[in-house]
Amino acid sequence: MSLHSHTKENYLKTLYLMSIDKDNVSINELAQKLGLKMPTVTSMMQKLAADRLVKYEKYKPIHLTEKGKKEAGLIIRKHRLTEMFLVEVMKFGWEEVHDIAEQIEHINSPVFFKKMDEMLGFPEHDPHGSPIPDRTGNIKQAVRHPLCDFNSGESVVITGLARSEDDFLKFLNRKNIGLGTILNIIEKEEYDGSMRLKHGKRELLLSRPVCEELFAEIAAGT
Partner DNA sequence: ATATATTATTAGACGCATCTAAGTTTTTAT
Partner DNA sequence: ATAAAAACTTAGATGCGTCTAATAATATAT
Binding positions for Mn ion, rule: CB under 5 A: 10, 98, 102
Of 14, 17, 29, 171, the one binding DNA by CB under 7 A: 29
| Interface residue with DNA, options 39, 93, 110, 200 (CB under 7 A) | 39
- Of 55 and 208, nearer to DNA (C-beta) is 55
Among the listed residues 20, 58, 91, 136, the single contact to DNA using CB under 7 A? 58
Burial class of 141 by CB neighbour count within 10 A (0 to 12, 13 to 18, 19+): exposed
Between 36 and 100, name the residue whose CB sits nearer to a second copy. 100
User: Residue from 14, 17, 33, 36 that binds DNA (CB under 7 A)?
Assistant: 36
In the chain, count H helices and then E strands: 8, 8
Q: Are 180 and 157 in contact (CB under 8 A)?
A: yes
Give the count of beta carbons closer than 10 Å to the beta carbon of residue 156.
Answer: 23
Q: Which long-range contacts (CB under 8 A, 24 or more apart) does 99-103 make?
A: none
What are the distances in angstroms from CA 5 to CA 18, 37, 54, 167?
Answer: 20, 19, 15, 30
Does 2 sit near DNA (CB under 7 A)? no
The strand ranges marked E within 17-167 are: 54-55, 63-64, 145-146, 155-161
90 binds, among DNA, Mn ion, a second copy, none (CB under 5 to 8 A by kind): a second copy
148 binds, among a second copy, DNA, Mn ion, none (CB under 5 to 8 A by kind): none
* Cβ-based nearer residue to a second copy, 6 or 201: 6
Residues that bind DNA (CB under 7 A): 5-8, 26-29, 31, 35-47, 56, 58-59, 61
